[in-house]
Copies of this chain bind each other. A is one copy, B any other.
């Protein structure tokens, strides 16, 4: 600094610098992680795993430097404005999580998950459950250790302690109520929706669909949805995700030649994540207060894009001519048929391919398995039988012996993302709540979307969600955006309106 006036907030300034450094090192880690999933050749994996483990350990050391505790305490006494105070609150939260974990655990976890995830890529197609279990066991053992340590430090039960990393404030006690309620009405709604849809069957698209043409279509739709390709990319990976950094967002998708809709709608989903990241506030970028609020909030953006906008009849009318231009015309490409296709309710094995009605069943199932798994009530060997029973109970499908489309289908457990799954359904609930709030503010919203006017939706999201980042806790953000905290009845009402008729 050139000025001779000493800073009135020396501790806060020091913390700010420390977090900016973490943001920069995290940039390299995120790009290397994206590369590992999207581009890296197989023999590079061991070295990449070692490099990323080294970086994770280094960042962990930076988050646990002894002076941080005193600096956070001193900064509380400094004359901070409201935004700085919110930033300090988020710093303390991150600091608490990081300081509950020894560096050794962080490094062991990185190595175990890197090995498990890489092996999973070939074990899953081979349906090699036994091989997978061998790699998942050390991942689970470390996750239990992590949950215990985080719980000791926060006073939370083990699963809550893990979930709190992704969804601050969410607890099993709340979730048991929400998911317990969903369990009551969901199977009936699925049944009724399927009976109703049997009266007007959708026409299936006829492939094959050229992958380069699918890629071109995805790029055009992502552009239509406002994603900035000068600040991001769209590539291919086994499991689609949104990675990179807010300044350079890396979306991925995957293509099949027999159908284009799963890839297209998956891309629309990731675009919602991407626009949230691209529109986080640039003031204080690199500070925790400028980061996305939570994973459920993140999912509320991807699901706003995929389900609220993407499956909207008006949006399908916009896509219909783009799809016909990509693949030539087909009866299946009529707008009303496309809408029938993307809203078709059909119980299936795969979570990421599930429609929005059956999707919560996949999440309830995973929650009911991973919570007792983390809390030591069951072991990995118990998972297949539980999986089979719950899939039959919730969705009426038989998964016995089909590990690859069962408990091996997701990258989450290999990557030790226990406690993450609930965020998907919480996100769907928030997305319905945002759209209900938008409709109250803009009663003509649906006709505007049908007329191709997406800007009002983006503007609402930008000012109410994206630019708010982590300024407020999740309840306060929801109240400011929609007048109430999480209210799952909007989600139920959305499904009833769309699938059982208005």
Contacts and interface: CB of A to CB of B under 8 A. Distances in A.
Interface of A: 21, 24-25, 27-29, 31-32, 35, 39-44, 46-48, 50-55, 58, 228-233, 244-245, 247-248
Nearest to A44: B248
Contacts of A229: 41
B48 A27 contact: yes
Contact of A29 (B28, B43, B48, B52): B28
Nearest to A50: B24
B230 A24 contact: no
Nearest to A231: B43
Contacts of A25: 51, 54-55, 58
A211 to B, nearest CB: 12
15 contacts: A21-B54, A24-B47, A24-B50, A25-B51, A25-B54, A27-B51, A28-B29, A28-B51, A28-B52, A31-B31, A43-B247, A43-B248, A44-B245, A44-B247, A44-B248
Nearest to A247: B47
Contacts of A46: 247
A40 B35 CA distance: 12
A44 B230 CA distance: 8
Contacts of A29: 28
A52 B28 CA distance: 8
Given A25-B55, A25-B58, 16 more contacts: A24-B51, A25-B51, A27-B47, A28-B29, A28-B52, A31-B32, A31-B35, A41-B233, A42-B230, A43-B228, A43-B247, A43-B248, A44-B247, A47-B245, A48-B247, A58-B58
A53 B48 CA distance: 21
Contact of A230 (B41, B51, B230): B41
Contacts of A55: 24-25, 28
A55 B24 CA distance: 8
Contacts of A230: 41-43
A24 B247 contact: no
A51 to B, nearest CB: 4
A230 B44 CA distance: 8
Nearest to A55: B28
Contact of A248 (B27, B40, B52): B40
A36 to B, nearest CB: 9
A229 B39 CA distance: 12
B47 A248 contact: yes
A11 to B, nearest CB: 22
A267 B152 CA distance: 57
Nearest to A34: B35
A58 B22 CA distance: 12
Which 5 A-B pairs have CB atoms at the shortest separation, nearest pair first? A44-B248, A27-B51, A47-B247, A43-B231, A24-B54
A114 to B, nearest CB: 13
A68 B229 CA distance: 45
- Residue among A41, A53, A54, A244 with the highest chain B CB neighbour number at 10 A: A41
A51 B47 CA distance: 21
Contacts of A48: 27, 31, 247-248
Given A47-B248, A247-B46, A248-B47, A32 B28 contact: yes
A24 B228 CA distance: 32
A412 to B, nearest CB: 24
Nearest to A35: B31
Contacts of A42: 230
A382 to B, nearest CB: 34
A51 B32 CA distance: 12
A50 B24 CA distance: 7
Contacts of A24: 47, 50-51, 53-55
A48 to B, nearest CB: 7
A42 B44 CA distance: 27
A178 B244 CA distance: 48
Nearest to A244: B44
Contacts of A47: 24, 27, 245, 247-248
Contacts of A51: 24-25, 27-28
Contacts of A244: 44
Contacts of A31: 31-32, 35, 48
B44 A231 contact: yes
A92 to B, nearest CB: 23
A99 to B, nearest CB: 21
Contacts of A28: 28-29, 32, 51-52, 55
A259 to B, nearest CB: 24
